[in-house]
């Protein structure tokens, strides 16, 4: 799709060229008609009282008009080039407020919804657009804050009764059917873990998660966690492969990193199919960890990457400086990628 600047520039240039051609055609045919029908009169040089009447022949008319077209084309080509440059410059100036607005919107996120967009210049229509966008951002901020507060309150309110239920089941375990007691314990533990993740997510999205940057090697953490997940994968007739350079040291929160790996592998086992590949590559400034697995055919594309697990990963990564997380579908594969600073790397702004 062509950019708006290109479209405006082409419209300006096209309008100019059509106008020039239209007036050139009128001038051309009018000049030919005048040259053919006009009778030129002049006095005889030796006898002033004599009058000489002359007119142009068809050959002379064709010669004059051909010369006129040739000269016009010579001047028209550079003139069109200059006009096109002016047209693209004017198009760029006219959409500059939109470009500034787009840049400001790209910088907005869950943590800075309090910001508002502004335009240093622009017509009345641009000003109205700015007002409407700021109004939308204000409503979005209120809704987002209410949702965060509601999620945190619900998770907090559920945590205590679930803990009490688990304690009661444990205390009365000898009076309950063993299979039923075990089933109740499993379900209560699952609910408790879910509520705990919601609390962690709420704290992370509100910027209240404590962060401590540590130096550690990736393979030491991942290999320690993979033993459990390989057993789960083998039970589903799947496999997990891990590739990592030796002594790949990063600067990250160790507990956050464990939680991120746990969520990525859990999502891959729960929602993916086939083998799971966890690979690490090193760049001069960052370490990039990728978790790749085939997409389960039963899943809809609209549900990919929107679960609680990946939402928690994004919130944890956002709290870490110089880090970034992305999750996209490429063909039939789902790729989750974590980028974090390598140990000893200087910040980009130094």
We report the CATH number of the domain holding residue 162 as 1.10.287.130
What count of residues does the chain have? 350
Do 243 and 186 share a structural domain?
no
Residue 112 resides in a domain: no
Do 156 and 51 share a structural domain?
no
Give residue 347's pLDDT. Answer: 44
Give residue 259's pLDDT. Answer: 86
Give residue 276's pLDDT. Answer: 92
Tell me the pLDDT of the chain (350 aa) as tens digits: 456 667 777 777 788 778 878 877 887 777 777 766 665 556 656 666 655 555 666 777 678 777 777 777 777 778 778 887 887 787 777 777 788 888 888 888 766 777 888 877 667 777 888 888 888 888 888 877 776 676 666 666 677 777 777 777 777 777 777 777 777 777 777 777 767 766 666 666 666 666 777 888 888 888 888 888 888 888 888 999 999 888 788 888 888 888 889 888 888 888 888 899 999 998 888 889 999 998 876 665 545 555 677 877 888 887 787 888 888 888 888 899 999 888 755 443 33
Beta strand 286-295 with 249-252 is unpaired
Residue 232 resides in a domain: yes
Boundary (domain end) residue, out of 151, 183, 205: 205
Longest Cα separation, the chain: 144
CA distances from 14 to 3, 23, 24 (A): 16, 14, 15
Q: How many domains would you assign to the chain?
A: 3
Question: For 44, phi and psi rounded to 5 degrees?
Answer: -70, 135
DSSP 66-82: HHHHHHHHHHHHHHHHH
Q: Which domain holds residue 162?
A: 139-205
Boundary (domain end) residue, out of 181, 205, 229: 205
Residue 109 resides in a domain: no
Give residue 118's pLDDT. Answer: 83
Residue 348 resides in a domain: no
- Return the DSSP state at 275: E
Question: How many Cβ atoms are within 10 Å of 82's Cβ, its own excluded?
Answer: 10
User: In 3D, which of 97, 31, 42, 37 has the Cα closest to residue 68?
Assistant: 31
DSSP 314-348: HHHHHTSTT-EEEEEEETTEEEEEEEEEBTTPPPT
Residue 114 resides in a domain: no
Do 272 and 219 share a structural domain?
yes
Do 24 and 84 share a structural domain?
yes
Question: For 73, phi and psi rounded to 5 degrees?
Answer: -65, -35
Give residue 182's pLDDT. Answer: 75
Do 312 and 193 share a structural domain?
no
The whole-angstrom separation of Cα 208 and Cα 157 is: 19
Give residue 277's pLDDT. Answer: 92
Residue 117 resides in a domain: no
Give residue 240's pLDDT. Answer: 92
- Token pair recorded at residue 286: 């960052």
Q: Please answer whether residues 317 and 323 qualify as being in contact, where contact means their C-beta atoms are separated by less than 8 angstroms.
A: yes
Do 259 and 218 share a structural domain?
yes
Predicted TM-score (pTM) of the model is: 0.52
Do 229 and 331 share a structural domain?
yes
Taking the CA atoms of residue 8, residue 14, residue 18 and residue 19 in that order, the dihedral angle to the nearest 10 degrees is 40
Give the helix ranges, DSSP H, for 172-305: 178-205, 218-235, 254-271
31 three-state secondary structure: helix
Give residue 55's pLDDT. Answer: 61
Residue 134 resides in a domain: no
CATH number for the domain that contains residue 336: 3.30.565.10
User: In 3D, which of 170, 174, 198 has the Cα closest to residue 185?
Assistant: 170
Residue 320 resides in a domain: yes
User: Long-range contacts of range 95-102, CB-CB < 8 Å, 24 or more positions apart?
Assistant: 95/4, 95/5, 95/8, 96/121, 97/121, 97/122, 97/126, 98/4, 98/126, 101/126, 101/129, 101/130, 101/133
């Amino acid at each position: 799709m062509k950019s708006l600047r290109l479209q405006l520039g082409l419209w300006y240039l096209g309008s100019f060229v059509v106008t020039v051609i239209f007036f050139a055609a009128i001038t051309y045919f009018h000049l030919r008609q005048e040259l053919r029908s006009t009778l030129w009169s002049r006095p005889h040089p030796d006898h002033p009282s004599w009058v000489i009447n002359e007119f142009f022949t068809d050959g002379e008319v064709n010669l004059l008009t051909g010369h006129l077209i040739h000269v016009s084309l010579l001047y028209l080509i550079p003139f069109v080039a200059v006009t096109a440059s002016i047209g693209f410059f004017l198009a760029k100036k006219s959409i500059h407020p939109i470009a500034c607005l787009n840049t400001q919107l790209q910088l907005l996120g869950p943590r800075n919804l309090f910001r508002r967009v502004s335009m240093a210049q622009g017509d009345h229509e641009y000003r109205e657009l700015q007002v409407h966008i700021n109004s939308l951002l204000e409503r979005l901020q209120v809704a987002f804050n209410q949702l965060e507060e509601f999620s945190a309150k619900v998770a907090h309110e559920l945590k205590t009764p679930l803990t009490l239920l688990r304690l009661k089941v444990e205390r009365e375990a000898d009076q309950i059917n063993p299979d039923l007691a075990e089933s109740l314990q499993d379900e209560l533990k699952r609910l408790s873990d879910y509520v705990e993740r919601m609390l962690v997510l709420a704290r992370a999205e509100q910027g209240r998660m404590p962060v401590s940057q540590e130096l550690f090697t990736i393979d030491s953490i991942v290999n320690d966690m993979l033993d459990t997940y390989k057993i789960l994968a083998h039970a589903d007739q799947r496999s997990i492969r891990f590739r990592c350079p030796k002594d790949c040291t990063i600067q990250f929160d160790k507990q956050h990193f464990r939680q991120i790996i746990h969520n990525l592998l859990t999502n891959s086992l729960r929602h993916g199919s086939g083998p799971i590949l966890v690979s690490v590559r090193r760049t001069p400034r960052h370490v990039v960890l990728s978790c790749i697995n085939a997409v389960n055919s039963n899943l809809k594309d609209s549900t990919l990457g929107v679960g609680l697990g990946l939402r928690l990963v994004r919130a944890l990564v956002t709290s870490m400086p110089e880090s970034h997380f992305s999750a996209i579908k490429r063909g039939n594969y789902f790729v989750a990628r974590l980028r974090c600073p390598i140990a000893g790397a200087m910040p980009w702004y130094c």
